[in-house]
């Protein structure tokens, strides 16, 4: 970084004094010392680290989500396949729509119930 206060070049001493006396907010470049900026640097680094961790976390969540959705799709397909096979084994006609009521406890019976159309 530069010296902090920019002096206009020229032989006119009053111009140099004006530049030195300008309020810092009107200067093009205002230098700050490390001690003044170190807390900002620390917070910026923490923000960057947090954003990186969040990005990694969200990526892992999306990967896990994709795996679970694929697994759910496979299980749903297997459920319908097994239900269809059971329907065929029972000789139930495909002309009508049936709802399969599965047992909730071991030893209970399940049912194919014909749906009215």
Question: Are 40 and 71 in a shared domain?
Answer: yes
Name the band, by pLDDT with cuts 50, 70 and 90, for residue 18.
low
Kind and range of the H or E run holding 16: helix 13-21
Write down the pLDDT at residue 1. Answer: 41
Question: Are 59 and 106 in a shared domain?
Answer: yes
**Beta strands in 33-79, from DSSP E residues, in sequence order:** none
Any idea what DSSP says for residue 25? G
Domain residue limits at 1: 1-31
Q: Which residues contact 99 (CB under 8 A, 6 or more apart)?
A: 112, 113, 115
Residue 110 has pLDDT above 80, yes or no: yes
Structural domain count, the chain: 2
CA-to-CA distance for 89 and 107, rounded, in angstroms?
20
Question: Are 77 and 91 in a shared domain?
Answer: yes
Question: For residue range 65-97, what is the model confidence (pLDDT) as tens digits?
Answer: 999 999 999 999 999 999 999 999 999 988 999
Question: For residue range 1-12, what is the model confidence (pLDDT) as tens digits?
Answer: 444 434 444 455
Write down the pLDDT at residue 10. Answer: 47
Question: Are 50 and 63 in a shared domain?
Answer: yes
CA-to-CA distance for 64 and 107, rounded, in angstroms?
36
Following DSSP, what letter does each residue of 8-66 receive, concatenated?
Answer: PPSS-HHHHHHHHHS-GGGSS-----HHHHHHHHHHHHHHHHHHHHHHHHHHHHHHHHH
Question: Are 24 and 37 in a shared domain?
Answer: no
């Amino acid at each position: 970084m530069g010296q902090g206060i920019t002096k206009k070049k020229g032989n006119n001493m009053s111009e140099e004094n004006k530049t030195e006396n300008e309020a810092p907010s009107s200067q093009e470049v205002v230098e700050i010392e490390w001690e003044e900026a170190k807390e900002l640097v620390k917070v910026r680094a923490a923000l960057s680290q947090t954003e990186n961790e969040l990005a990694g976390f969200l990526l892992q969540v999306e990967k896990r989500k994709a795996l679970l959705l694929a697994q759910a799709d496979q299980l749903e397909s297997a459920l319908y396949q097994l239900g269809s096979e059971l329907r065929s084994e029972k000789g139930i006609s495909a002309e009508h729509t049936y709802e399969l009521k599965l047992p909730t406890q071991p030893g209970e019976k399940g049912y194919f119930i014909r749906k009215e159309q």
